[in-house]
Amino acid sequence: MVRSGTGDRPSIFEAEIRSLPSGYTGLPRQLVEASQLQRLRHGVLMAVTDHGYGQATIAAIAERAGVSKKTFYEHFADKQSCFVEAYEYGRIAVLRDTTIAAVTAQAAGAGPVEQIRRGTGAFLDFMAREAAYAKVFLFEILSAGPAAVDRYLRCRADFTASLHAWHLKARAVHPDWPEAPAVAYEEATALVHGVTLCRVAAQRAGELGDLLESLVEGQLAVLRVPAGASADERSAPAG
């Protein structure tokens, strides 16, 4: 089981079915394959945690996953494809968490600043809970070849685009807020990701929640949101 960060919530990489008996199980083939895939995501995370991406072998991944090398090759062509699939699984999960948090805040009547606070908070919470994922896939991804680096860049682009979309909607509510240069969205994204990764690398992911307000204020400043906007909305938070 992979557990990281704080609290008792299990990692998203923990397989629901940790092992299957050999031979015929009577389970639907789709369920068997889903279990194998879950365990291979866990296996590649643990193998790379132990050895680094370059030294992690398919045998080590399969052993950690509790499957045979033959089963590994039934799912993936090579180590990189397994690694990238696991990265994508985590990327979608964190993007989902941040989006749901912001949209839920909006539906509850929260203003734009509270929405970005909720979304940023969800991101920090995910990274604290999944510190092993953050450390392995947001550092090792850069050494896993061009396809993996492309996925990493697409992940950053997703967060940048999400922030841009939030800002456009926020300016419709607050027409006094000025426009921001296109690069500002990349800068605001880099601010949050950079601070997060430094804390994770230093094994201080538990501190991320304490940085929420500073990181929200930093993003607002980069996007040229007028001073005091955060305090104004914080005086009447959503229920």
CA–centroid distance for 94 within its chain: 4
- 227 belongs to a structural domain: yes
Relative orientation angle of helices 146-173 and 112-129, to the nearest 10 degrees: 150
Q: pLDDT tens for residues 32-41?
A: 788 889 999 9
* Structure confidence by residue, pLDDT tens digits, 146-175: 989 999 999 999 999 999 999 999 999 999
| Residue 154, in any domain of the structure | yes
Q: Are 199 and 205 spatial neighbours (Cβ–Cβ below 8 Å)?
A: yes
pLDDT number for residue 230: 62
Domain at 156, CATH number: 1.10.357.10
Instruction: Encode pLDDT of 201-228 as tens digits.
Output: 898 999 999 999 999 999 999 999 988 7
Q: Which two tokens stand for residue 21?
A: 């008996």
Whether 29 maps to a domain, the answer reads no
Domain range spanning residue 174? 79-234
Would you say residue 178 lies in a domain?
yes
Residue ranges with strand state E in the chain: none
Whether 99 maps to a domain, the answer reads yes
Total tally of structural domains belonging to the chain? 1
pLDDT at 3 over 50: no
Asked if residue 117 belongs to a domain, the reply is yes
State the pLDDT at residue 16: 62
pLDDT at 136: 86
Q: Report how far residue 166's alpha carbon sits from residue 162's, in angstroms, rounded to the nearest whole number.
A: 6
